[in-house]
Amino acid sequence: MTSPQELSKQIQLGNRRALAKAITLIESNRESDEQLAQELLSQLPENNQSIRIGISGVPGVGKSTFIEALGNHIIAQGKKVSVLAVDPSSPTTGGSILGDKTRMETLASREEAFIRPSPTSGTLGGVAKRTRETISLCEAAGYDVILVETVGVGQSEYEVASMVDCFMVLMLPGAGDSLQGIKRGILEITDMLVINKADGDQKKLAERAKNEYENAFHLIHPKYSGIQVQILACSAIEKNGIDEVWKASLHFMDLLKKSGVFSKNRIQQKLSWFKRLAEDEIIHLLWNQKDNKSFISSLENEVKNQSITPVQAANELVIQFKKQLRSQV
Ligand SMILES: Nc1nc2c(ncn2[C@@H]2O[C@H](COP(=O)(O)OP(=O)(O)OP(=O)(O)O)[C@@H](O)[C@H]2O)c(=O)[nH]1
Ligand SMILES: [Mg+2]
């Protein structure tokens, strides 16, 4: 067993196997591993030079193909890139990114790239918590750009948006239809919108979609005052427009940094991470405390047979917790 000290050293030297091992440690549910993971995380220096980009979009929009193209483009600029996935939709298979590794074949084979599929289900605190920690590990390992892929369903988009500097949403051409499908909430957290598959017959459709989205964004309150959401079109398969997307992301980061929002966001992210971790730990502690288990299951039974309401059950549980806290002081 490698010690956290040794692992930390190896990660900083850029040892990929050590990085992979550390991520496995972080994803482990064993209590002894959790302690080691905490020790490791507290030893790693912060790397504030990296940039984090979230990439979202409905299944089939071309996220993996796009990441393959963008990743290789970033490497061609002399940078190291890591690709992580948050995919709560298929926890048992370890996320779609695994199957997609074939779509990222050239990227996966590059020394400068590190691709990691989603953690499997059942991790304490959820997939997103692990992803945050994995981002820190990759940054400490010297990766300049962290791409976080998420399927555009459910809560995961909001989770990812809250851990990256730029949240990018991929869209299909076919403006009218896709405008109906897009949730307003997603537009509000979007920093860049990229219409993929702008090739062949769909090129014209993509142009039209671009105009429609531009109009749609005029109607919503901007996320950052003075910074407009950028809307671009590309073809991930033909690798057209990828450089424009990369340059637009850099420009966006630049604007964020100049306005002070970049560091403010990162601090805010840290604070919410702290809160989230504390909440998870406290809930886990309370929920799994030996004395509480039988009480909780009796409350559950009462809710089941409708002798009390869920609200009453929650109240009783809270009263019990408060009593326990007082008796411990
Ligand atoms: N014409 C065209 N097809 C594309 C483009 N990008 C991806 N595709 C195709 O679209 C399909 C889905 O691509 P993926 O990259 O797997 O899409 P994804 O968003 O990662 O899908 P999930 O992982 O299932 O969510 C594949 O058949 C790709 O070849 C593009 O720019 N143009
Ligand atoms: Mg994919």
CA torsion angle for 109, 110, 114, 120 (degrees, to 10)?
-10
| Separation CA 45–CA 140 (nearest Å) | 6
Atom of ligand 1 nearest to the CA of 149: 20
Cβ-contact 143, 82 below 8 angstroms: yes
Atom of ligand 1 nearest to the CA of 170: 19
Distance 56 CA to ligand 2 centre (A): 10
Phi/psi-derived region of residue 113, left when phi > 0, alpha when psi is between -120 and 50, beta in every other case: beta
Neighbours of ion ligand 2 (CB under 5 A): 63-64, 96, 100
| Separation CA 136–CA 44 (nearest Å) | 8
Distance 62 CA to ligand 2 centre (A): 7
Q: Tell me the average confidence (pLDDT) per consecutive run of 10 residues in the chain, 329 residues long.
A: 89 94 88 88 87 91 94 97 77 47 81 82 58 92 94 76 93 69 76 95 92 84 87 96 98 95 93 86 82 90 96 94 83
Closest Cα to atom 14 of ligand 1: 62
| Separation CA 295–CA 317 (nearest Å) | 8
Give the tens place of pLDDT for each residue, 162-199: 899 999 999 999 755 555 556 677 888 899 999 999 99
The residue among 174, 233, 171 whose CA lies nearest residue 198 is 233
The residue among 257, 203, 210 whose CA lies nearest residue 230 is 210
Give the tens place of pLDDT for each residue, 225-273: 889 899 999 999 999 999 999 999 999 999 999 999 999 999 999 898 8
| Torsion over CA: 254, 260, 263, 265 (sign) | negative
Our mutation pick for probing the ligand 1 site, out of 107, 237, 242, counting the most ligand atoms within 8 A of Cβ, is 237
Is residue 287 packed enough to be buried (19+ CB in 10 Å), middle (13-18) or exposed (0-12)? exposed
| Separation CA 172–CA 233 (nearest Å) | 10
* pTM to 2 decimal places: 0.87
Q: Residue 183 is which amino acid?
A: K
